[in-house]
Amino acid sequence: MITVHLPIDLAEEFKTAAVLTTDAQDLRDLMDQLDHMRPGVAGWLLEADGRFRQHLSVFISGRRLETRSPASGPLNEGADVWILRAVSGG
């Protein structure tokens, strides 16, 4: 099981809980599941090239991804994913 923490304002806009659990196998699968649940949300998180937007800060089990990292790669069972508004965005 994967736990994902969404930015509070994003969760409110898309009328979903800010903390969700999924059975996603990797980051791409997680984005697809989120977008299936709330159509359009992936476009708020990712650019057309499949990378996270410039001013989002993403942590996976405590490790921060580099800015504009691709939303791909494995997620271990029990992973904790935090998607945060980066301080660089204002």
Partner 1 sequence: MYLLVGTAKGLFRYQSNDRTEWKALGPVLSGDPIYTSAYDAARGILLASVNSEFYGPSIRRSHDWGETWDTGGSGLAYAPDDAERVTRVWSIRPTADVIYAGVAASGLFRSFDGGDTWEEVRALRQHPTHETWGPGFGGKCLHTIAPDPFNPDRLYIACSAGGAYRTNDRGKTWEPINAGLRADFMPEDQQYPESGQCVHKIWVSPSQAGRMWLQNHGGVYRSDDGGDTWNDVGQSLPSDFGFPVVGDPHHPDRAYVIPLEGWPRWAPDNILAVHRTDDAGQHWEPLHKGLPSPTYVSVLRDAMTADTRDRLGLYFGTTSGSLYHSNDSGTTWNRVAQDLPRIYSVVVAEE
- Residues between 52 and 81 with contacts to partner 1, criterion CB under 8 A: 53, 55-56
Phi, psi at 33, each rounded to 5°: -65, -45
- Residues between 10 and 39 with contacts to partner 1, criterion CB under 8 A: 10, 13-14, 38-39
Kindly state whether residue 7 participates in binding partner 1, applying the rule CB under 8 A: yes
Task: Using the minimum distance from each CB to partner 1, give the nearer residue, 42 or 60.
Answer: 42
**DSSP annotation string for 34-88:** HHHHSTTHHHHHB-TTSBBPTTEEEEETTEEPPTT-BS-SB--TT-EEEEEE-GG
Q: What residue ranges bind partner 1 (CB under 8 A)?
A: 7, 10, 13-14, 38-41, 43-45, 47-50, 53, 55-56, 85-86, 89-90
